[in-house]
Chain A
Amino acid sequence: SQTIHQWPATLVQPVGSPLSLECTVEGTSNPNLYWYRQAAGRGLQLLFYSVGIGQISSEVPQNLSASRPQDRQFILSSKKLLLSDSGFYLCAWSLIGGIDTQYFGPGTRLTVL
C-alpha cells in the first residue's frame, strides 16, 4: 500500500532563517507531487506541483522554492522565512494528473516568529 510521510511535524523558526520541509512517498512510482499551504481561515493554496524528477511548476510567486531530487521525494525550501510563511504545509500525491484522487500527508505546522 502507498504511504506518504512529511517531516518535521512541527517547526518554529525565526524570521530570516532558512527552511527545508521534506515529503516522501512509498509504494508507488512516478507520482505527481504537490505542496499546499493552509493558512488560518483560508482554503488550501497550491504552491508547487511536480510531474517528474527535476520538473517543478510554481503556482504562486513567493520566497519559497521546491525541488524533486528523486522520484518519490519532494522538498520545500526557503532561504529566508517571512512571518507570512506561517501555516500548515501539506504534501500530496496522485496518479494521472488530477484525474485521480489526491492522497495527503500528515502535514507540517510551521510557525515563524
Chain B
Amino acid sequence: KNQVEQSPQSLIILEGKNCTLQCNYTVSPFSNLRWYKQDTGRGPVSLTIMTFSENTKSNGRYTATLDADTKQSSLHITASQLSDSASYICVVSASGGSYIPTFGRGTSLIVHP
C-alpha cells in the first residue's frame, strides 16, 4: 500500500530560526514528490517538485532534498518568518496508472515572534 509519513506532526520555532521537516514514503513505482504549503483555511499551494534524478531543489528560503534510495525527503526552511506558519504536506505520485497522488498528514509549523 502506498503511504507517506511525515514528522514531526507539529513544530514550534522562533522567528529567524531554521527548521527541517521530514517525509518518508513507500509509493512505488516512484515518479515525483511535491511539498505543499497550506495556510489555515486555504487550499494547498505547491512549493517544489522533485523527480527521481533530483537530489535538491530550492524555492527562496525553502530547500527540498530527496533520497530516492532510502525513500526520504526533507524540507528545510531557512530564517523562518511569521508567514511560514502553516501546514506543510508531502505528496508523492507513482508512475503509471491514474497518477492519483498520495498525501501525507502534514507537519503543522508555528513560528513565534
Partners in one complex: no
